Amino acid sequence: MDETRIGRIVFRAWRRGFREADLILGPFTDLHVRSFTPAELDTYEALLAEDDHDIFAWIAGKSPPPARFDTPILDMLKEFQRALPVASGDISGS
């Protein structure tokens, strides 16, 4: 496992600059990133390179993702977001 790469991914997931994305991507990454295959890491890194608002809209189901991001990783993120306990308001925006 490339811990330097993992560290970059974790950092990028937690420091999005968009609170709602941080609250989904950070915990999701902590929970799953070390179990991803190299190909899944590639997919996830590419997703993290996209605009925060776009990623959030895809996760929340507010807009369809481009085909290249309509992957099992995005499905995992959607399921993770649906299962999040909401303590201080609805982070899904609905």
Give residue-wise pLDDT tens across range 40-65: 999 999 999 999 999 999 999 999 99
CATH code for the domain of 21: 1.10.150.250
Could you tell me if residue 22 is inside a domain?
A: yes
Flag whether 89 is in a domain: no
* Residue type at 60 in one-letter notation: A
Q: Is residue 20 part of a domain?
A: yes
Read off the pTM.
0.85
Mean pLDDT of 32-47: 96
Total domains, the chain: 1
CA distance 35 to 42: 13
Higher pLDDT, 36 or 17: 36
The pLDDT tens digits for 73-89 are: 999 999 999 998 764 44
Q: Is 57 within a domain?
A: yes
**Structural domain of 57:** 3-83
Residue 79 lies in a domain: yes
Kindly give, in sequence order, each residue whose CB lies less than 8 Å from that of residue 6, ignoring residues fewer than 6 positions away: 33, 34
* 7-38 as b/e: b if 16+ CB within 10 A: eebbebbeebeeebbbbbbbebbeeebeebee
Which two three-digit tokens encode residue 2? 């490339």
Residue 72 lies in a domain: yes
Alpha carbons 33 and 26: distance in angstroms, whole number: 10
Show the tokens assigned to 64: 């369809």
Does 92 fall in a domain? no
